[in-house]
Amino acid sequence: MDRPVGPPVEVKQALPPPRTTFTGHSVQLEPLRSSHIDDLYPIIGQPEQAALWTYINQGPFSDKASFTEVITFFAESNDPVFYALIDPTTNKAIGFFSLLRIDLTNRVVELGYIVFSSLLQRTTAATEAVYLVARAVFEDLGYRRFEWKCDNMNAPSKKAAARFGFMAEGVFRQHLIVKGRNRDTAWFSILDSEWPVLKTAFEKWLDPANFDAQGKQLRSLIDIRGEEQSTRG
């Protein structure tokens, strides 16, 4: 008796995340380098910014030397591969994230180690940065699955994942021990088959016509995506 199996998949490898620059209108992504430390330390490394590191397994930092050690390690890493987010008006780094758990054979990669300064939080640039990296993951590098994972207690991260179109898949209980504390991990993903709708929604949201003279959005990303999904059935 035959047993059910999944549909056939083209067997090929994805490409590793490149150390290259991705350019948008409101943000630029470039490989994280030690030269970004002077930009980043005042806006994410100071004691008053400790909350940014609550759910990251490094930080917060007692001084610039300890911050420099971690950022230098990140810059030299091959998995994760880190990208600095650059404000094109100042040419300064204002945050970073990474592509990690790079599985070329199964064509799966994760977006993580997301540390956005206050200059990035809830901005067009933050959304465009996620769009740029997702577009590269699916269209340039050939991945089938793009993951987002976070501490299940990290409500802002879970809200951001849903806003960007990552689908909630469940919670891995007692998944990790981070900084001596239990972490239940919430899992989210986007599949390559879902990307075309999400791409269109991102691009319609990012269109300057979607913002008024004060820069306020006219339609939310979630609303635009819902319209696209309804239109395409």
pLDDT over 80 (residue 53): yes
Residue 33 lies in a domain: yes
Residue 39 lies in a domain: yes
pLDDT over 70 (residue 128): yes
Residue 180 lies in a domain: no
Distance between CA atoms of residues 144 and 132, nearest Å = 16
The domain in which residue 94 lies consists of 22-142
Q: Which residues contact 198 (CB under 8 A, 6 or more apart)?
A: 134, 164, 165, 190, 225
pLDDT of 78-124, one tens digit each?
999 999 999 999 999 999 999 999 999 999 999 999 999 999 988 99
Contact 97, 109 (CB under 8 A): no
Name the pLDDT band for 233 (thresholds 50, 70, 90).
low
The pLDDT of residue 231? 84
Q: Which residues contact 182 (CB under 8 A, 6 or more apart)?
A: 174, 176
- How do strand 145-151 and strand 108-116 relate by DSSP bridges? parallel
Contact 117, 100 (CB under 8 A): no
Residue 83 lies in a domain: yes
Residue 193 lies in a domain: no
pLDDT of 194-215, one tens digit each?
999 999 999 999 999 999 998 8
Residue 29 lies in a domain: yes
Q: Identity (one letter) of the amino acid at 217?
A: Q
Residue 213 lies in a domain: no
CATH no. for residue 38? Answer: 3.40.630.30
| Number of structural domains the chain divides into | 1
Q: pLDDT > 70: what percent of the chain?
A: 100
Residue 50 lies in a domain: yes
